[in-house]
Amino acid sequence: MQIHGHRGARGRRPENTLAALAYALENGADGVEVDVCVTADDRVVLHHDLRLNPAHTRGARGEKISGDALPAIRELSLAELRRYDVGAADNPDGARCVVPTLEECLEFLSAEKTKGAVLNLEMKGNWKLAREYPKSVFARAQNRLLPAPERYVSLVLECLRRMKFPPERLLLQSFDWRLMLLAKKLRPELNIGLTMEVEPSEKFSPPQLVKQHGGDVWSCEHTRLREASVAEAHALGLEVCAWTVNDAAAMRRLRGWGVDVITTDDPKGCRGVSGADTQQ
């Protein structure tokens, strides 16, 4: 069972920063899970929320900022985004962190000491907006927060191509299945994960839905998994990625079921539980 640090290692370092990636890989992770958004000048950056998060973000002078005053990532150029500190509030030493670009992440993972690590890359989407609002409202809202799906996928794939990141070390996943289907069409060799949080349909099980839509990996919140559903996914030729697992008993259970990947906020805590020690 592979261990991927969730948002790097958000339980120990500022999430989706190079400091979090380094901590995860120095402490037993096989890979790192990160999220990407896009700036106003079309730079792909590591950030979970489509807007700057007030819980983690400080101004250039270290001041707290009201959530109402924090803009969307898509509203800022990369230079403007990097005026904000997204690390001091969570860093043990209080060091300032800026939002890294995907290029910087890939460069870090291409270094000699990290070049075997897997990149579990989640593209953000507006699947909840699509479900809750009329189509015209959804389209307007999406354009303010992310590029159009075709443009978004193109920017991410071009960055991966330009940085020559090996496809065998990549898991590309999203709640927004449109993005994954586009990526698979353009790069069939990529390992695509379809993430599910909603309840399955009455007609098809979650693994069946993932398989029918062309996914390679079923990515699921770990408490929704059952041993039989993991076995069903494997019988269909799918891998199973479980998130976000921070409990030792859950890790042992998932390992016993044959889950292929888990994400965790603290990879160091997985040692001796997941089998990571014996793999390295």
The pLDDT tens digits for 115-141 are 899 999 999 976 554 444 444 444 555
Residue 135, in any domain of the structure = yes
- Which pTM value belongs to this model? 0.90
Residue 62, in any domain of the structure = no
Name the one residue in this structure whose structure tokens are 């940085």: 163
The pLDDT tens digits for 2-31 are 999 999 999 999 999 999 999 999 999 999
Q: Distance between CA atoms of 4 and 9, rounded to whole angstroms?
A: 9
Q: Distance between CA atoms of 153 and 81, rounded to whole angstroms?
A: 21
pLDDT of residue 233: 97
Q: Distance between CA atoms of 212 and 134, rounded to whole angstroms?
A: 27
15-29, 66-80, 147-161: least confidently modelled range: 66-80
- Closest by CA to 195, choosing from 241, 239, 233, is 241
202 is in which domain, residue-wise? Answer: 2-50+102-279
Residue 73, in any domain of the structure = no
| 51-72 burial: b if 16+ Cβ within 10 Å, else e | bbebebbbeeeeeeeeeeebeb
SS3 category, 143: helix
Q: Distance between CA atoms of 161 and 83, rounded to whole angstroms?
A: 28
Residue 92, in any domain of the structure = no
Residue 140, in any domain of the structure = yes
Residue 137, in any domain of the structure = yes
- Closest by CA to 120, choosing from 161, 73, 174, is 174
Residue 61, in any domain of the structure = no
Q: What is the CATH number of the domain that holds 141?
A: 3.20.20.190
Count up the domains in the chain and report the number: 1
Residue 113, in any domain of the structure = yes
